[in-house]
């Protein structure tokens, strides 16, 4: 029997194919996105600003560490459903972040997108994008002075 590589069959990837594991495309150094990975990073973002939307909750904080990169994390609790539903919700949030944060995310900020039960999975994708754009506009608008 001949191995698949010799007959032209099989699952050989094209040499120009992008890596399958990259979470965010490499782009502008000012707005390069990185993922939050540790629990303390998520907790620091959770204790800062919050903005609710119809599809998810956005938690954001300014790091003030001189680093210009934008960091983003994704959370889906068991209230979302089983593992399949949680993973689908996080995939949708990742795509929304890919589409919006390079344009509207501010340098030096951490963002955490928290999935909402039912809404994140069922809401149309265009509305999720509009939700994140609106949430970022609210989070980054200047605060009015208190009387």
pLDDT in tens, 70-117: 999 999 999 999 999 999 999 999 999 999 999 998 888 999 999 999
What is the pTM assigned to this prediction?
0.74
Instruction: State the Cα–Cα distance between residues 2 and 124, nearest whole angstrom.
Output: 48
Conformational region of residue 81, where left means phi above 0, alpha means psi within -120 to 50, and beta covers everything else: left
Q: Distances from the Cα of 19 to the Cαs of 24, 25, 30, 66, in angstroms?
A: 11, 10, 22, 30
Domains present along the chain, CATH in parentheses: 28-138 (3.30.230.10)
Better-predicted residue by pLDDT, 9 or 108 = 108
What confidence score (pLDDT) does residue 33 get? Answer: 79
């Amino acid at each position: 029997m001949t191995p698949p590589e010799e007959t032209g069959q099989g699952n050989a990837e094209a040499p120009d194919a992008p890596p399958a594991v990259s979470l965010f495309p490499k782009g502008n150094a000012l707005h390069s996105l990185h993922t939050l990975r540790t629990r303390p990073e998520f907790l620091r973002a959770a204790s800062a600003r919050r903005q609710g939307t119809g599809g998810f909750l956005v938690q954001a904080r300014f790091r003030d560490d001189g680093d210009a990169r934008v960091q983003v994390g994704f959370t889906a609790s068991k209230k979302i459903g089983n593992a399949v539903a949680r993973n689908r919700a996080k995939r949708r949030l990742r795509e929304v972040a890919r589409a919006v944060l390079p344009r509207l995310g501010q340098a030096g900020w951490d963002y955490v997108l928290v999935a909402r039960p039912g809404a994140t999975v069922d809401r149309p994708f265009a509305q999720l994008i509009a939700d994140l754009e609106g949430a970022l506009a609210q989070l980054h608008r200047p605060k009015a002075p208190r009387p």
